Amino acid sequence: MHIPPQRKLLFLIFFSAILTFTLFPDEPETQTSSSETSQNETAPQPTSTQDKPEHPDTDTSLETMKKAARSEDNKIVVKGSRKKKTSSDGTAAQNSVNAKEIEEKQSITTGDAVKEMPGVYVNGDGRTGQSQFLFVRGFRSADVLVLIDGVEIRNPLSPNGAADLSMSPENIAKIDLLKGPQPVMHGSGALAGVLDIRTKKGKGKPKFTASASTAVLDMSSSRYTPDTVNASANISGSEKRFYYSGGGSFFYTKGISMADSYKDVKENLYTKAPENDSVIKGSLYFRGGVDINSDNTWEMIVRGKISKAYIDDGPGLGMDDPNRYLRNESLLFKTGTESNLFNKIWNLKFDVSILLSSLRDNDPADKGKMAEDLKSRYSSLTFSLNWKNSVVPVEWYELVTGIDFGTEWGTADYEDYSAGRYFSMDFVPNPDINFDAYIFNIFKPVDKLELNIGGRLQNNFYQLSLLDKDTDAQLPNETKKNIEPTFSVGASYETPIEMGFKARFARGAKTPTLFQRFSRYANLYQELKPETVYGFDGAILQYFAKRKILLEAGYFYEQKHNHIDLDKRGIYSNRYRIENHGLEVSLHTKPFWGLSLRSSYTWIFKMQEYKVVEYKGQKYKAKTPTLRRPQHSFNAILNYNYEKKLNISLELDYVGERRDEVYNYPKTPYIVTVDDFLILNFAVSYKINSYVTIFAKIENMLDNDDYAYSVEYGTAGITPWIGLKLDI
């Protein structure tokens, strides 16, 4: 019997609400709630020595502090204090996940760690180990700025420059997602949001941590021999003024395969099953610093990664490619200082970073195929400098100013031997340069009220190299200057009855990237225009059960102009205008009796892309399907922890119907509606002693056959994991 998606979602939401209020009754509290922690904080932050009580009559006994810690851990609190220095936009719609929650549900990738956030849909090119991309509120992954320790990451594997979230989350301390345009504090690229990933800092005695796990990727396909390995190791600690954290991760699988069938869409496209492709990737990282004195700190970060992924060339009949592979490498170096001046009234941060990255795409000729050798390479070097000042002259006002400077060099070559033709492209363009200045004002006139307004001037200088449309002659290179004013304004307030409100409006912009202008996908006859976006979101927050439960409901609206994407010819152009609005509802609880629940539902009731065309002097909107983005999505995670030894996590993901494109080679591609799916994951861990923890996980334990991020790629059925973790 087919149950409509709307009824499924109503049942899931109703079930979550009943479960929450049953498990977390209203009980008296012995501790007043704090107002200085972010509303979506899921674990209390460590308290620095500067935040300790200074009154001589304060009870600081060990037992009293333990009771206070237990009480604070069972409450959800909201930002809004007049005295707390934030240096961030407290009115933005945001969600967070910390290292403890990542470990509880045993996330294999960073994409797995964030997919339960409201408004988030993680889309992947197949099974665990392949690329994962983040869609926020229906906007594509390239519109989300992804930062690791303040440095932007982009993936040349994706033609639109989106960041790949398939990396290991082992060294992550916390992930914050700021939704909607974030132009002032983060600049170009933050059109639909910012995913801010922060890694762990060492503290305390030297500690060694290592974990290893193995899995059978899709046991339901009659495979029982482990074909996937995931491992990591880390050493961290601090000694007097010095702190350090370093290690690495490794992942290997030979269980990747493209989709050979999909119900009602792609049945029996192959005479034999396609081969199992492999993915191998590894990373090394180090983060260390020195507290020069109580007011000055110096820090250094080094991170490198390499990956090689065999990938099928196409999803249509006869297009399975057994020997195409992608190789990706990157190396990051960052160093900076932080200083507190004039009795901590002025906080100054300064840092520089260098990022090297490259992609190689190799596809040797196959016997019996029309296509011949194809080789391409894209390499880039990015340098950035950031100077940020936060001044709090009075307790109710904070001024944040800064300057960002960045430059990017790129080289590329492309060779294609097809039907006896040879085509090559090699370029070393002048570097892109951006020089931005911003100012952000935060007002807190009364307790738990925040008003802010800010603006940024984005100055971009970049090179154009075009061909004459009539003669194909090379036109003189031209250096373009683009200045984009962006802004944001917002307000948030928590009432005395534990109800909160927040609203925000912003404009963001993004200049065409070097890759979009010079790669083999570039339009050599027409200049690309910068992308711009306007966004608004508002939310109501309500606490229940003495702040142990937080219910949040919000509305969002975003409109994007000059959307850059690949057209049917595989060439970049300003194709569409995008307009999305919808609703988000989330339910969040703190641990009670060892139980906690996090759930969210997103309904994008208007999600459309259209191109403005002119016909006989009249302008019309030519609609185009929005691919791989569900209108309805629901997520719930129920977690139980017993005396910090046994942890059980049950995760449910529902993804509604969505449009997709089938490449039925050699026929013309066509649009289909992909079925909704429901995924249930189960994870359990047990701490044998203070040194050893064993864990296990079953992904897609219902063996949902409709589970597919895309009809092009295979997705795993029942996948069991088992592993061991050491803490020394």
Q: H/E/C letters for each residue in 297-320?
A: EEEEEEEEEEEEEECCCCCCCCCC
Whole-angstrom distance, CA of residue 432 vs CA of residue 438: 20
Least confident interval from 93-97, 150-154, 337-341, 470-474: 470-474
Maximum mean pLDDT: which of 77-86, 120-129, 403-412: 403-412
Maximum mean pLDDT: which of 41-50, 263-272, 473-482: 473-482
Closest CA to 323 of 355, 260, 369, 357: 369
Maximum mean pLDDT: which of 13-22, 367-376, 536-545, 701-710: 536-545
Where does the pLDDT of residue 488 fall: very low under 50, low under 70, confident under 90, or very high at 90 and above?
A: very high
pLDDT of residue 645: 92
pLDDT of residue 221: 67
Query: What is the per-residue DSSP string for 370-385?
Result: S---EEEEEEEEEEEE
Return the exposure string of 196-213: e unless at least 16 CB atoms fall within 10 Å of the residue's CB, then b: bbbbbebeeeeeebbbeb
Strand bridging mode 549-566 / 531-544: antiparallel
Tell me the CA distances in angstroms from 97 to 547, 580, 693, one per residue in order: 19, 25, 22
- Which tokens in the block code for residue 677? 């799916």
Maximum mean pLDDT: which of 154-158, 481-485, 672-676: 481-485
Whole-angstrom distance, CA of residue 282 vs CA of residue 304: 9
Whole-angstrom distance, CA of residue 422 vs CA of residue 282: 35
- Which tokens in the block code for residue 265? 């869409």
Strand bridging mode 618-624 / 595-615: antiparallel
316 has pLDDT over 50: no
Query: What is the per-residue DSSP string for 55-102?
Result: -TT----HHHHHHHHHHHHT-------SS----S-TTSEEEEEEHHHH
Strands (E), 186-276: 193-199, 207-215, 228-239, 242-256
Closest CA to 141 of 630, 712, 629, 657: 629
Whole-angstrom distance, CA of residue 512 vs CA of residue 527: 9
pLDDT of residue 312: 59
Where does the pLDDT of residue 262 fall: very low under 50, low under 70, confident under 90, or very high at 90 and above?
A: low
Least confident interval from 154-163, 208-217, 542-551: 154-163
Maximum mean pLDDT: which of 197-211, 271-285, 612-626: 197-211
Closest CA to 710 of 123, 301, 160: 123
**Residue 159: strand, helix, or coil:** coil
Mean pLDDT, the chain, whole residue set: 80
Query: What is the per-residue DSSP string for 127-148?
Result: SBTB-EEEEETTB-GGGEEEEE
Whole-angstrom distance, CA of residue 473 vs CA of residue 461: 24
pLDDT of residue 70: 44
Residue 240: burial class (beta carbons within 10 Å; 0-12, 13-18, 19+): exposed
pLDDT of residue 586: 94
- Which tokens in the block code for residue 468? 């004459």
pLDDT of residue 663: 62
249 has pLDDT over 90: yes
In this structure, which topology does domain 5-49+59-727 adopt according to CATH? Maltoporin; Chain A (2.40.170)
pTM score, whole prediction: 0.85
Where does the pLDDT of residue 266 fall: very low under 50, low under 70, confident under 90, or very high at 90 and above?
A: low
Question: Which residues, at least 6 apart from 546, have a Cβ–Cβ distance to it below 8 Å?
Answer: 26, 27, 28, 29, 75
Where does the pLDDT of residue 133 fall: very low under 50, low under 70, confident under 90, or very high at 90 and above?
A: confident
312 in Cβ contact with 320 (< 8 Å): yes
Mean predicted confidence (pLDDT) in 194-215: 93
pLDDT of residue 37: 36
Where does the pLDDT of residue 314 fall: very low under 50, low under 70, confident under 90, or very high at 90 and above?
A: very low
Q: What's 432's DSSP letter?
A: E
Question: Which residues, at least 6 apart from 530, have a Cβ–Cβ distance to it below 8 Å?
Answer: 460, 482, 484, 509, 510, 511, 512, 562
pLDDT of residue 515: 80
Least confident interval from 106-110, 315-319, 338-342, 641-645: 315-319
Whole-angstrom distance, CA of residue 674 vs CA of residue 657: 6
Where does the pLDDT of residue 90 fall: very low under 50, low under 70, confident under 90, or very high at 90 and above?
A: confident
- Which tokens in the block code for residue 639? 């977690």
| Portion of the chain with pLDDT greater than 70, in percent | 76
Whole-angstrom distance, CA of residue 300 vs CA of residue 432: 26
* Residue whose pair of structure tokens reads 């504090």 in the numeric block: 185
* Residue whose pair of structure tokens reads 């470990």 in the numeric block: 103
* Residue whose pair of structure tokens reads 């940024």 in the numeric block: 456
The residue type found at 43 is A
234 in Cβ contact with 249 (< 8 Å): no
pLDDT of residue 721: 92
In sign, the C-alpha dihedral spanning 417, 422, 423, 426 is positive
pLDDT of residue 376: 79
Mean predicted confidence (pLDDT) in 186-215: 92
More confident residue, 435 or 157: 435
H-run or E-run covering 6: helix 5-23
Mean predicted confidence (pLDDT) in 306-321: 62
Residues 557-587 have pLDDT tens digits of: 999 998 888 777 778 888 778 889 999 999 9
Give backbone dihedrals phi and psi of 580, rounded to 5 degrees, phi first. -130, 135
Domain ranges of the chain: 5-49+59-727
Strand bridging mode 144-148 / 193-199: parallel
Residues 681-717 have pLDDT tens digits of: 999 999 999 999 999 999 888 887 666 666 666 667 7
Least confident interval from 276-290, 297-311, 319-333: 319-333
Mean predicted confidence (pLDDT) in 264-269: 54
pLDDT of residue 479: 83
Residue 420 CA from chain centroid, whole number = 43
21 has pLDDT over 60: no
